[in-house]
Structure 1
Amino acid sequence: MEVYFKDILKERKFHFFYQPIYDLNTWGIFAFESLLRVSDHPKLNIEQLFSNARLNQTLYELDTAAIEGAVETFPFMLFTEQHLFINLFPSTLLDPRFEYFLYQLMMKYPEAQRNIVFELNESAKEQASWAAPELAKRIQWLNQSGIRIAIDDVGAGSATLKQIIEYKPKYIKLDRYFAKNLASSKERQQIVQLLTNYNVDDTTLILEGIEDEKDLATACALNVPFAQGYLLGKPQPILQYKTQYQFHNSIYTYL
């Protein structure tokens, strides 16, 4: 199995699905999140793939290969107004090679720079990286480069309110726990309302895990700006959304 994992990275045996993030005010697609899939084993646990890479000290290589692949396959020239959310391990951001990697990537895909949002991964195995004094400087460097950050799975894992205050992300992605049964839980509603109203440094909430119509209606009533989940759109090859988008635009132009 270990040889198989190494072969996935060496031969780039992966592709990407994209899940939409919706603007609940306009009902338009605000962004897409890229999700890595192994080409010949679509049900393989991706966390297991990254855990194996960490054990074999190839996490940086796998993470940057995934970033490059997500950018390479996304049609920025079509989705000019939509952002692309890409997962990034804090340890990758701290790696001294990352700055040059990102410079080369932006030189190759200049249209991507203003649309990329890096989602900082909340894995418990990244605790040391989250605590590194240098991380705040690296995040500041990204911001100065015109690249926004999001903190993923807030309310679960290692993502905490402390990190929101210290790192000033553009986006807070609230864990799906708070979306499930939102309509019937006053406690969840209060937390969602609190973070919806948190707008220091223009930080904006994205509610993950919307799978029920009543929960979606409650999110709208609470003025949640952005949401993501299977009810709104499942992860699919970008070609599916590209076709839908082009069809919608052709109808709009005709009308």
Structure 2
Amino acid sequence: MESIAKLFEKEEYYHAFQPICNLPGKNRLGYEALLRSKKAVHPEGLFQTAKEKNKLLELDTRSLYYALLAFFHSPDRCNNELLFVNIFPSTIVEDSFPDFIQEITCDFEPFLDHIVLEINESIMEGKIWNEPIFLQRIADLRQIGFLIALDDVGEGTTTFRKILEIAPDFIKIDRFFSQNLSDSQEKQKVVRLFVEFCRDDSQLILEGVEEEEDYACAAMIGVAIGQGYLFGKPGRLLGE
């Protein structure tokens, strides 16, 4: 595999940005950066190939760096918007991670409190969540000023114990719960549970919102933030 940095510099790899919006007004809170390839390889395929070639750490860190570069140096960015960027637990516990974060801190110091590190759930990396160094690194990141999000809660391996230990700023619940939400009393009960759980400390984000009736139902239940095609597909930044 060619150097990851070179692939970004040649724009073989790039990021699309999907809006994340407040409910019920649909005004933008920020964006999630999503890795893309001109070769049309599915993002999961990119990370799987990188893992097989022992380049997952390089891809994960360079993807994060170039996402920040594209977003915070864009003339279309609004100053108060957040950027959600994905990161693997295995990256966070690497010995080289503090040096990488120092690089980010130096290069993006004015924007640290607008960066949301979105921790990817991976069954393959489930054991890492229980390592003391993982929780310590999360605490260190928050001390520096980064915000923390847990992704796909309700789908992967995250338990309420882990949520309590990490105390994330944002909890993103899986798109499964938004699909046909307006027709499912069971899903509404689960979403209400998360709404109540997030009332004081974390902010709840419902992913995969695509239909107006499901959006209206989510807003009625008390979901404060949504993401999905209804608010915008991944693409270029949308300036004011």
Say whether the fold is shared (TM-score over 0.5).
yes
Give 3-state SS (helix, strand or coil) of 1:153's partner.
strand
Residue 20 of structure 2: aligned partner: 21
Residue 191 of structure 2: aligned partner: 192
Residue 147 of structure 2: aligned partner: 148
Residue 42 of structure 2: aligned partner: 45
- Counterparts in 2 of 1:36-185, with a 5 A limit? 36-38=35-37, 40-41=38-39, 43-75=40-72, 78-185=77-184
Give 3-state SS (helix, strand or coil) of 2:113's partner.
coil
Mark the runs of 5 or more structure 2 residues left unpaired by the alignment.
Answer: none
| Segment drifting more, 222-231 vs 128-137 | 128-137
Q: How far apart, in 1, do the equivalents of 2:24 and 2:164 lie?
A: 26
Give 3-state SS (helix, strand or coil) of 2:78's partner.
coil
TM-score (norm 2): 0.92
Mark the runs of 5 or more structure 1 residues left unpaired by the alignment.
Answer: 1-5, 246-255
Cα pair 2:26 2:231 within 8 Å, conserved = no
Give 3-state SS (helix, strand or coil) of 1:224's partner.
coil
After TM superposition, give the deviation of residue 201 of structure 1 in Å: 6.0
- Any idea what the Cα deviations from partners look like across 1:46-99, whole Å, max 9, x if unmatched? 111111211222111110000011000003674211110000001111112111
Q: How far apart, in 2, do the equivalents of 1:8 and 1:217 lie?
A: 45
After TM superposition, give the deviation of residue 26 of structure 1 in Å: 3.8
Counterpart of 1:52, as a letter, is: T
Q: How far apart, in 1, do the equivalents of 2:36 and 2:112 lie?
A: 24
Give 3-state SS (helix, strand or coil) of 2:121's partner.
coil
- Any idea what the Cα deviations from partners look like across 1:161-208, whole Å, max 9, x if unmatched? 232112111110000000001001111101111111113761110000
Counterpart of 1:225, as a letter, is: A
Q: How far apart, in 2, do the equivalents of 1:203 and 1:140 lie?
A: 15
TM-score (norm 1): 0.87
Structure 1 residues 172 and 211, CA gap change in structure 2 (3 angstroms): same
> How many matched pairs?
234
Structure 1 residues 224 and 110, CA gap change in structure 2 (3 angstroms): same
What percentage of residue pairs aligned between the two structures are identical? Answer: 36
Which consecutive aligned stretches of 4+ in structure 1 deviate over 4 angstroms post-superposition? Answer: none
Cα pair 2:5 2:62 within 8 Å, conserved = no
Give 1 or 2 for the bigger CA radius of gyration: 1
